[in-house]
Amino acid sequence: MTESIRRSGEYENFENPYQAQSSAPVNPEWPPPPAYQPVPQQPVQQQVQQPVIEPTTVWQTQAAAGGNGHGNGNDGGTALLTAEPAPAKKKRARGPLALLAAVAIVAAAIGGGTAYGIQELTGKDEVVSSSTTTSVVPSSKTGDVASIAAAVSPSVVEVSATLSNGTSTGSGVIITSGGEIVTNNHVISGANSIKVTTSDGKSYTAKVVGTDSKKDLALIKLENASGLKAATLGDSDGVKVGDTVVAIGSPEGLTGTVTSGIVSALNRDVTVSTDESQSQGQGQQGGGDGSWPFQFGGQEFNGDTGSSTTTYKALQTDASLNPGNSGGALIDASGNIIGINSAMYSAATDSSSSSDAGSVGLGFAIPINTVKADLAGLRAGGSDS
């Protein structure tokens, strides 16, 4: 006799789908009923929607329990879809970091000697100008006269003007690599020809571009010159009394002479002659006392200034200036040009008193900001044209 193996009360309420509606005995060849009670199918709308995942999917099959646990072709399997989240991708940092780094590199490449670098890249013959915070010499050498002289001397030249009755010797400052030079008007006024000698001994012929007798300034240009070292023009508005200064020029034809001192006063009213004939007293060979006449403090120095005069504000310095320094450079402790030397007091009243001639610590320079403001007019021919 065949018996159905089951625990008491296990299938009391379960409707056997294999059992006939009649009272026929159970066919022993039929497979045993499942060992669990089927779970009623849930409505579709009640299913909880799972979030969409884009990982690798793994299919697993769970064998249905029943019988002896061996599949015979009728054993079904429940397919389960499990999601294994893929490793999170590292997002590339986006933002201004790369751009800022690039800007910093460009800024570092441009910083320090900017004007000269831009001039060389663009090929334009431009004036090198900066504030007094820019250092032409290394910061560790600020105020060192030897370092300043080595850096700026190549930008200062000797200017020799041939006059109708002699020659006039002065100095000049190179402001562009193509050979533009600023000097005093009284150095080249009335000249038939002009010769310029650079610090390395090369000689050039120069022509007058423009003059401004009211400011005692002139702009000349060397012929067939290139690659010259232009001076850096500073900011004379930032100069203070007591600041260290260096003067470079060609006193008495002694090219490249360097002296030093301090700024002893600001905004001195200096009155100079605008008469063309007065230029012949400056460094003239064969006549005159070699001193440029000017007025200061209501007194005349170094001769009669004549009836036609002009007055400008000047920097006063005790750096030694002598005839021939006119048109040369007055330089600050960082190597920037802050003035164009223009007038100096000499105790000599005539050429026979040579023992008393020379600087007594009273010299004057045209502020470089005055020069920069007048530069466009000089390039256009000046106010005297």
| Residues 31-76 pLDDT 10s | 666 666 666 665 555 555 555 555 554 444 444 444 444 444 444 4
Rounded to 5 degrees, φ, ψ at 291 are -125, 135
Between residues 211 and 2, the one the model is more confident about: 211
**Whether pLDDT at 188 is above 90:** yes
Residue 343's nearest CA partner among 281, 260, 258 is: 281
Residue 354 known to be catalytic: no
Q: Would you say the C-alpha torsion 351, 356, 358, 363 has a positive or negative sign?
A: negative
Q: How far apart are CA 128 and CA 125, in angstroms?
A: 9
Instruction: Give the integer Cα–Cα distance in Å for 95 and 86.
Output: 26
Q: Confirm whether 186 is a catalytic residue.
A: yes
pLDDT of 292: 64
Considering the candidates 186, 264, 275, 342, report the single residue annotated as catalytic.
186
Count of helix runs (H) and strand runs (E) in the chain: 5, 16
Q: Residue 123: its pLDDT value, please? A: 45
Mean per-residue pLDDT, 158-162 = 95
Max mean pLDDT range (226-230, 286-290, 354-358): 226-230
Q: Which of 59-68, 206-215, 271-280 has the lowest mean pLDDT?
A: 59-68
Bridge-based pairing of strands 217-222 and 180-183 is antiparallel
Which residue is associated with the tokens 């230029």? 279
Question: Among the options 153, 155, 171, 216, which is catalytic?
Answer: 216
Checking if the pLDDT of 190 tops 80, the result is yes
Q: Which of 144, 332, 314, 175 is nearest to 238 (CA)?
A: 332
- Read off the pLDDT of residues 86-126 as tens digits, 9 standing for 90 and up: 555 555 555 555 544 444 444 434 333 444 333 444 445 67
216 is catalytic: yes
Helix (H) or strand (E) holding 371: helix 368-379
Q: pLDDT for 234-256, tens place per residue?
A: 999 999 999 999 999 999 889 99
Beta strands, E only, the chain: 56-63, 77-84, 156-163, 166-174, 180-183, 193-197, 203-212, 217-222, 244-249, 257-273, 294-296, 299-301, 309-317, 329-331, 337-346, 359-367
Distance of CA 176 to the CA centre of its chain: 19
Q: What integer pLDDT is reported at residue 320 of this predicted model?
A: 93
Q: Please state the pTM of the whole predicted model.
A: 0.64
> How confident is the model over 115-137, as pLDDT tens digits?
433 344 444 567 776 654 567 99
pLDDT band with cut points at 50, 70 and 90 for residue 199: very high
295 Cβ contact list (under 8 Å, min separation 6): 270, 271, 272, 301, 305, 309
What is the tens place of the pLDDT at every residue in 256-274? Answer: 999 999 999 999 999 887 7
Distance of alpha carbon 279 from alpha carbon 306, whole angstroms: 12
Looking at residue 10, its pLDDT comes to: 53
**Token reading at 25:** 């005995």
Kindly indicate the confidence band of residue 84, based on its pLDDT and cuts at 50, 70 and 90: low
